[in-house]
Amino acid sequence: MLCGLEALGERRIIRLIWEYLDRMPDLALDLGDDVSAVNIGGGRVAVLKTDMLVGETDVPPSMSLRQAARKAVVMNISDFAAKGVKPLAMLVSLGLPRSLSEDDIRDIGAGLGDAAREYSTYIIGGDTNEASDLIISCSLLGFSSEGRIVSRSGAKPGDIVAVTGEFGKTSAGLKILLEGLSAPKEIAEKLKEAVFIPRARLSEGLALSEAGVLSASIDSSDGLAISLYELSDASNVGFIIDHVPIAKEAVRFADIHGLDPYDLGLYGGEEYELIVTVRPQLWEAAERAVADVGGTLIRIGRVIGEKRIELRTDGEIRKIERRGWEHFKIGKLCWHL
Amino acid sequence: MLCGLEALGERRIIRLIWEYLDRMPDLALDLGDDVSAVNIGGGRVAVLKTDMLVGETDVPPSMSLRQAARKAVVMNISDFAAKGVKPLAMLVSLGLPRSLSEDDIRDIGAGLGDAAREYSTYIIGGDTNEASDLIISCSLLGFSSEGRIVSRSGAKPGDIVAVTGEFGKTSAGLKILLEGLSAPKEIAEKLKEAVFIPRARLSEGLALSEAGVLSASIDSSDGLAISLYELSDASNVGFIIDHVPIAKEAVRFADIHGLDPYDLGLYGGEEYELIVTVRPQLWEAAERAVADVGGTLIRIGRVIGEKRIELRTDGEIRKIERRGWEHFKIGKLCWHL
């Protein structure tokens, strides 16, 4: 029998808390988008995001502290990327187990520094606490203009659905790290690297926003399938997905273990690609904007008016299910009022 | 023998992390002040603060979850109060033990809502995670103007040192809660209430900043003595303290247990009064500004050029030591680059 938080479920927890909070007037984004945004006058919008890394649920075995600290930043940057907002500065709140050594602290510092430089932002403060598990809670601040932030809610029937990269490596990597599945060395290294050194698509997100070509956007950190459902709910549309770009290492891994590669690609998580929708007449401009920053925009399907999400490949039609990776991470969800 | 984090010490941990972080240009406050502040153009300054509440170290026995959640907000508001900055909006990152019930979640929501209303701010987002201990990490955003934020570094010899309230109740309350010391019921209730329902001096801080009467300011959350030392370090001055306002309940408690009331007043913590310095010619205006919002500004001493902190009372001169409450809370320190 489920009890406590498990029985409640993440969404219910957030709704319960929401009940007690007053809504701020002048918010610039709807409840439940990737970030919080508030109008601050003069057409400017302040954008905020917080996401907490918890050792037990977010740091798989053999991930280094340096990688964990870097990941804590990437998790936050990815949401700014999806909204096309440049991260200006960041705070980091640390919970540190008493057993950590000086070298451990240095590793955490190095990982935070790595990530800040990688995404051209600065950590300008934080706080340090003793805690029973490793906690790295980042808060990002950025600025945008009124009407400029790409929401989750603007997708329209006929739009093209696209992603910024391939899927499946992280799911496969986590199966190696958490379930002990094996793979040839060179493949295993790549799959584990996807878990240890995730990359946020900030350049792509900023370029797409700059070009003004997106109707909606979300990051895929909860998994491709779940994120499509979130986008579907926010925009009140559905999707026909006719292509799921799965990394060749993930396909190979699926082949070795008799797994469905679509399962790895759709129902993973901890992958920080962007999922965007684009009006057909803006598609070429969108492709070009991403290519100009060294990325690739991959068409995966189209938006439909009916609220269902279907996978149509190899002449077969399947329903994409609303589920993601749950063995590793339970009870994690961001909320924005 | 100390090992791990204890051997390192809080300040060293923060310095180690700093080594790996690049300094942001355009910061509006020095490293090590109560908040982080960055110039955002047009004479405006964005102000940020994060402080994490950890169950094990910040929530004493018999404090309710509602009180704990409220306290997590107050901890952050108090630093904005010290800098004279109005908190515009807040994010809350939660780590929740799996054993919590629906009522527990409601209590946390209610406590967050209580605090946001009390200080006229809004919680506009957050994230929810499973964690082994209760974690409530708040991040505050506010705005100020260039040159307007009251720093820790502007105290000058001859300035008056003052505080916004009395000290000692929290120390006494924690001795009841953590060490099992007793007190007559009506006193015990008041002492415990100081721990359970701390109040940030936001109205006072905003009024003093508005009146433009402060040369320096800090909050006393690390204890009166430690906070005086922080102010002394930042301003490169010393203090002669000739009056420590100690709450009558704390004096009575000290009397019952044969404790030195000055110990309760100076070496406590978790008290959210403001400690400010004021040029003598602005003293009356400062007193009036605080009185106008229903508070009291209490003169406790004066700033001297020599870097020492002395207590002169009852014809006796004593050195105030650099120490605070450490049985309950270890390894907690905010840092601002």
Burial class for A102, CB neighbours closer than 10 Å (0-12, 13-18, 19+):
middle
Residues of A in contact with B331 (CB under 8 A): 96, 98, 128-130
The confidence score (pLDDT) of residue B298 equals 98
Q: Is the CB of residue B29 less than 8 Å away from at least one CB of chain A?
A: no
Q: What Rg do the C-alpha atoms of chain B give, in angstroms?
A: 20
Q: State the Cα–Cα distance between residues A92 and A116, nearest whole angstrom.
A: 11
**Topology annotation, domain B4-145:** 60s Ribosomal Protein L30; Chain: A; (3.30.1330)
Q: State the Cα–Cα distance between residues B325 and B323, nearest whole angstrom.
A: 7
**Which residue is listed with tokens 């998790």?**
A75
For residue B98, the chain A residue with the least C-alpha distance is A5
Using an 8 Å Cβ cutoff, are B63 and B107 in contact? no
Q: What Rg do the C-alpha atoms of chain A give, in angstroms?
A: 20
Q: pTM of the predicted model, to two decimals?
A: 0.94
Using an 8 Å Cβ cutoff, are A219 and A227 in contact? yes
The confidence score (pLDDT) of residue A195 equals 96
Q: What percent of chain B has pLDDT over 90?
A: 86
For residue A19, the chain B residue with the least C-alpha distance is B109
The count of other CB atoms within 10 Å of the CB of residue A283 is 16
Q: In the numeric block, which tokens belong to residue B197?
A: 């329902």
Segments of chain A scoring below 50 in pLDDT: 1, 327-332, 337
B227 Cα distance to chain centroid: 9
Q: Point out which residues pair with A276 in neighbouring strands.
A: A162, A217
Q: Which of B267, B286, B70, B64 is nearest to B177 (CA)?
A: B64
A37 Cα distance to chain centroid: 18
DSSP class of residue B84? T
Using an 8 Å Cβ cutoff, are B219 and B276 in contact? no
Using an 8 Å Cβ cutoff, are A296 and B84 in contact? no
The two beta strands, B160-163 and B238-241, are unpaired
Band (B66; pLDDT cuts 50, 70, 90): very high
Burial class for B314, CB neighbours closer than 10 Å (0-12, 13-18, 19+):
exposed
Helix (H) or strand (E) holding A87: strand A87-96
A43-52, A321-330, B182-191, B310-319: least confident range: A321-330
Examine the pLDDT at B35 and tell me if it is beyond 50.
yes
Q: State the Cα–Cα distance between residues A261 and A251, nearest whole angstrom.
A: 6
Q: Is the CB of residue A332 less than 8 Å away from at least one CB of chain B?
A: yes
The confidence score (pLDDT) of residue A6 equals 72
Per the CB < 8 Å rule, is B105 touching A13? yes
Examine the pLDDT at B1 and tell me if it is beyond 70.
no
Q: State the Cα–Cα distance between residues B40 and A88, nearest whole angstrom.
A: 9
Q: What is the rounded average pLDDT of the residues B280-297?
A: 98
Using an 8 Å Cβ cutoff, are B101 and A4 in contact? yes
135-194 in chain B: CB under 8 A from chain A: 135, 137, 139, 141, 143
Per the CB < 8 Å rule, is A112 touching B14? no
DSSP class of residue B282? G
The CATH number assigned to the domain with range B160-319 reads 3.90.650.10
Band (B331; pLDDT cuts 50, 70, 90): very low
Give the mean pLDDT of chain B: 93
Helix (H) or strand (E) holding B249: helix B248-257
Shortest CA gap A36–chain B (Å) = 6
The two beta strands, A238-241 and A316-319, are unpaired
Q: State the Cα–Cα distance between residues B192 and B177, nearest whole angstrom.
A: 7
69-108 in chain B: CB under 8 A from chain A: 88-89, 91-102, 105-106, 108
Shortest CA gap B15–chain A (Å) = 10
Band (B6; pLDDT cuts 50, 70, 90): confident
Band (B7; pLDDT cuts 50, 70, 90): confident
Q: State the Cα–Cα distance between residues A208 and B115, nearest whole angstrom.
A: 39
The two beta strands, A87-96 and A274-278, are unpaired
DSSP class of residue B280? G
Residues of B in contact with A19 (CB under 8 A): 106, 109
Using an 8 Å Cβ cutoff, are A330 and B130 in contact? yes
Q: State the Cα–Cα distance between residues A39 and A37, nearest whole angstrom.
A: 7
The phi-psi region of residue B19 (left if phi > 0; otherwise alpha if psi is between -120 and 50; otherwise beta) is alpha
Q: What residue spans define the domains of chain B?
A: 4-145, 160-319
Using an 8 Å Cβ cutoff, are B198 and B269 in contact? no
